[in-house]
């Protein structure tokens, strides 16, 4: 089974978290789900470098991030692949960006993040942010 390593940003602004909605995907189980923005780590990149690049490509934002901003690593098995996702906390000074790859986004308070339909691999991040499991 294919294994991919990805990075994801928990972007915070004004006590709210950025939640991005995926478009249609060849895998129905991740189509239209909400996720934290990010993407695949390329050969030779550090996790922080990969996240900086992905956020620039997907949202046209410049962000400073370091390994000290690491929040949670998630290992998840989907039906067709496994994923290791390294998430990082990213504080931004504006909620303005250009949405290039996602079909929708919302800024939500942490308390109601669990009301969205999240991709399975992203759910543990929401759970840790909320401090309890509200998906069960």
Helix runs in 9-122, H state only? 47-59
User: Has residue 78 been placed in a domain?
Assistant: yes
User: Has residue 18 been placed in a domain?
Assistant: yes
Does pLDDT of 55 surpass 50? yes
Q: How many domains does the chain have?
A: 1
- The string of pLDDT tens digits covering residues 3-51 is 999 999 999 999 999 999 999 999 999 999 999 999 999 999 999 999 9
Query: What percent of the chain clears pLDDT 70, i.e. is strictly above it?
Result: 96
Amino acid 132: pLDDT: 59
Amino acid 134: pLDDT: 52
Amino acid 64: pLDDT: 86
User: Has residue 44 been placed in a domain?
Assistant: yes
User: Has residue 15 been placed in a domain?
Assistant: yes
User: Has residue 135 been placed in a domain?
Assistant: no
User: Has residue 13 been placed in a domain?
Assistant: yes
Amino acid 136: pLDDT: 47
Between the alpha carbon of residue 5 and those of residues 10, 72, 92, 112, the distances in Å are: 17, 13, 24, 28
Task: Decide: 81 and 119 in contact? Cβ < 8 Å.
Answer: no
- The string of pLDDT tens digits covering residues 79-123 is 999 999 999 999 999 999 999 999 999 999 999 999 999 999 999
- Across 62-77, b (16+ Cβ under 10 Å) vs e yields ebebeeebebbebeee
Q: Read off the CATH number of the domain in which 22 is found.
A: 3.90.79.10
User: Has residue 124 been placed in a domain?
Assistant: yes
Does pLDDT of 133 surpass 80? no
Share in percent of the chain as helix, strand, coil (round to 5): 25, 35, 40
Whole-model pTM: value is 0.93
Spatial CB neighbours of 80, under 8 Å, sequence gap ≥ 6: 1, 2, 27
Q: State which residues form the domain around 31.
A: 2-130
Q: Average pLDDT, whole number, for the chain?
A: 94
User: Has residue 136 been placed in a domain?
Assistant: no
């Amino acid at each position: 089974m294919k294994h991919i390593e990805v990075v994801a940003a928990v972007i915070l602004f004004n006590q709210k978290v950025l939640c991005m909605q995926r478009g249609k995907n060849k895998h129905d189980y991740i189509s239209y789900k909400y996720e934290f923005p990010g993407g695949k780590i390329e050969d030779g990149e550090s996790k922080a470098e990969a996240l900086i690049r992905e956020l620039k490509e997907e949202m046209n934002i410049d962000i400073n991030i370091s390994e000290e901003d690491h929040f949670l690593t998630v290992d998840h098995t989907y039906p067709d692949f496994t994923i290791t996702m390294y998430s990082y906390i990213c504080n931004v000074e504006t909620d303005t960006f250009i949405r290039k790859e996602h079909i929708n986004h919302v800024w939500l308070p942490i308390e109601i993040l669990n009301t969205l339909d999240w991709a399975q691999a992203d759910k543990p991040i929401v759970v840790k942010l909320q401090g309890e499991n509200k998906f069960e």
